[in-house]
Amino acid sequence: MKILLVSANREHFPDPVFPLGLAYAASAVQQAGHRTVVLDLAFAKNPEKALAESIQRERPETIAFSLRNLDNAAYPLTRFYLPDYLSLVRTARESGRAGSRTPFLVVGGSAFGLMPGPMMEVLDADFGVAGESEEALPALLSALEDGCSPLGIPGVFGSPRRGAPSAPVVFPDFPSLPSFDGGAWTRLRPARELFDLPRYLRVGGMANIQTKRGCVFRCRYCTYPLLEGGEHRLRDPESVADEIEELVERHGVLSYFFVDSVFNLPVSHAEGVSRALIRRKLRIRWSAYASPAGLSRGLLETMAAAGCDGLELGTDSADVSTLESLGKGFSTERILEVAEDCRKAGIPLCHSLIFGGPGETPETVRNTCRLIDGTRPMAVVSMAGVRLYPGTPLGDWALESGMVKTESDFLEPRFFIDPAVRSFLIPYLERFSAARGNWILPGVVPPLAPTTQRLIRFLGYKKPLWHLLKYGVFKNRVYRDR
């Protein structure tokens, strides 16, 4: 079957992000023997026109969209991408009708997986795949090719407009697997060659790579365990190092971002990957998301020796009661220890904070700001308000308490801000961050102007942009370029 895979993500903040998920999907579909064409709309001037032209040219039998972001999860400067996706699916529907055989329309990606039922109601697609593509998409294509219904395939949704049941079939089960065998996806290489990787490297700085899937924590607001499963599924560290070595050799990539939910857990795996990189002597630099839990001095030193030169720490809060109500599973003391250990290991730190959760008060906000500031981080990214998603403990509580009426009401971004800080939070954070210069409020202060971002990348800067905040000249500028 001939399939057109479309990457619909056009967000360029903080950087244009290479569509790694679709590259995995493409690899799986190719391996199953389907003719695969890719259309990446990230840089298209007129996405609808580009899509219509591609459909006319390629005449695919199936068009599958990768929907990465539903919104920017930032309040109050919220950006909502669903209307753009709707317009693309409609364009595909209309352009497809012009051919002799109307193509099937399929949607997938994290934006879809977060709320598959409501998304199927809104988007006029024939099928949707919630969760990972590697097994479900080839199975769906084979079913369509054989004229069978794909609705029994785990994760596959049908169109309610065409009478498919609104409740999903079984979701794929992510079993606990031994050692470093995390399942079939770990043996695939994302098909980066189908995309304009050099352009992403030029305008986005880093290549992205995944060493595992899943997160074993269950922080109350977080969707990552829903998207990736609640167990770790690990790649063999040598295979991670092989992939990086290939990227170094073929494209000269020396700067990377590990997209794992939490890089440092399980500790043995983070160590394994770091040691594999050390053995290869690749002279690369990389950043990752980390949790203060399990981030020991020894591990940090090994990571630094392997090229880690920045961590985005999922700290969320530094107030004892807020940490508990967010379900974080570590203490304020741990945050202080980690900050100190990072300094000793020479790894710059960017705290990621979320203010306004249940039980937040002016005092807990002040506590967090004071304590985090005291750790002298290179940067702090703060969100004011918690994006609510169905299936998370916080989202379920919002549904049960009647704050949100139906699952579809989560589609348009809904944020929770505890009434105790509703009028206090944003003015306070604005003042606090203006006085510091290295606190970023993506939802409150307009982000970096695209021209400045492009200029910085054009000049060859390869690290996450928060690193620039160490320079006095960029203080209050990097993400404040109005």
Question: Residues interacting with ligand SF4, by CB under 6 A?
Answer: 215, 217-219, 222, 224-225, 261-262, 291, 314
Residue placing its CB nearer to ligand SF4 in the complex, 207 or 313? 313
Region of 67-75, 165-173, 401-409, 423-431 interacting with ligand B12 (CB under 6 A): 67-75
210 is a contact residue toward ligand B12 (CB under 6 A):
yes
Closest approach of ligand B12 to the CB of residue 21, in Å? 2
Site mask for ligand B12 (CB under 6 A), range 417-436, x = bound? --------------------
Ramachandran quadrant class, 41 (left: phi over 0; alpha: psi -120 to 50; beta: rest):
alpha
Contact 271, 299 (CB under 8 A): yes
CA distance 253 to 281: 14
CA dihedral sign, ordered 318, 441, 12, 475: negative
Region of 205-213, 298-306, 359-367, 455-463 interacting with ligand B12 (CB under 6 A): 205-213
Contact 345, 297 (CB under 8 A): yes
217 is a contact residue toward ligand B12 (CB under 6 A):
no
Residue 294 vs residues 288, 300, 308: alpha-carbon distances, Å: 15, 10, 16
Task: Specify the 3-state DSSP secondary structure of 402.
Answer: coil
Angle between helices 237-251 and 197-204 (to 10 degrees): 90
Region of 72-80, 90-98, 246-254, 366-374 interacting with ligand B12 (CB under 6 A): 72-80
CB atoms within 10 A of CB 109: 28
347 is a contact residue toward ligand B12 (CB under 6 A):
no
**Which partner, ligand B12, ligand SF4, none, binds residue 219 by CB below 5 to 8 Å per kind?**
ligand SF4
Residue placing its CB nearer to ligand SF4 in the complex, 217 or 466? 217
Cα first-last separation, the chain = 48
Burial class (CB in 10 A: 0-12, 13-18, 19+), 37: middle
**Which partner, ligand SF4, ligand B12, none, binds residue 259 by CB below 5 to 8 Å per kind?**
ligand B12
**Which partner, ligand SF4, ligand B12, none, binds residue 158 by CB below 5 to 8 Å per kind?**
none
211 is a contact residue toward ligand B12 (CB under 6 A):
no
Residue 101 vs residues 56, 90, 97, 375, 437: alpha-carbon distances, Å: 12, 17, 7, 61, 57
382 is a contact residue toward ligand B12 (CB under 6 A):
no
**Which partner, ligand SF4, ligand B12, none, binds residue 54 by CB below 5 to 8 Å per kind?**
none
Residues 295-324 that bind ligand B12 (CB under 6 A): none
Both structure tokens of 69:
């972001």
9 is a contact residue toward ligand B12 (CB under 6 A):
yes
Task: Specify the 3-state DSSP secondary structure of 80.
Answer: strand
**Which partner, ligand B12, ligand SF4, none, binds residue 478 by CB below 5 to 8 Å per kind?**
none
Closest approach of ligand B12 to the CB of residue 297, in Å? 25
Please list the residues that pair with 104 across neighbouring strands. Answer: 62
CA 321 to chain CA centroid, nearest Å: 28
Residue placing its CB nearer to ligand SF4 in the complex, 291 or 453? 291
**Which partner, ligand SF4, ligand B12, none, binds residue 237 by CB below 5 to 8 Å per kind?**
none
**Strand ranges, E, within 268-307:** 285-290
The residue from 1, 4, 73, 349 that contacts ligand B12 (CB under 6 A) is 73
The residue from 54, 110, 274, 315 that contacts ligand B12 (CB under 6 A) is 110
Closest approach of ligand SF4 to the CB of residue 269, in Å? 15
Residue placing its CB nearer to ligand B12 in the complex, 261 or 322? 261
228 is a contact residue toward ligand B12 (CB under 6 A):
yes
Residue placing its CB nearer to ligand SF4 in the complex, 197 or 386? 386
Site mask for ligand B12 (CB under 6 A), range 34-53, x = bound? --------------------
**Strand ranges, E, within 55-94:** 62-66
Residue 372 vs residues 351, 381, 382, 425: alpha-carbon distances, Å: 8, 11, 11, 16
Residues 255-294 that bind ligand B12 (CB under 6 A): 257, 259, 261
The residue from 1, 4, 8, 16 that contacts ligand B12 (CB under 6 A) is 16
- The 3 state secondary structure assigned to 349-360 is EEEEEEECCCCC
Residue placing its CB nearer to ligand SF4 in the complex, 92 or 383? 383
Residue placing its CB nearer to ligand SF4 in the complex, 261 or 364? 261
Burial class (CB in 10 A: 0-12, 13-18, 19+), 29: buried
74 is a contact residue toward ligand B12 (CB under 6 A):
yes
The H or E element that residue 61 is part of is none
Burial class (CB in 10 A: 0-12, 13-18, 19+), 471: exposed
Closest approach of ligand SF4 to the CB of residue 224, in Å? 4
CA distance 386 to 207: 29
Q: Which residues bind ligand B12 (CB under 6 A)?
A: 9, 11-14, 16-17, 20-22, 24-25, 64-66, 68-74, 106, 108-111, 113-114, 129, 132-134, 137, 206, 208, 210, 223-224, 227-228, 257, 259, 261, 387, 442
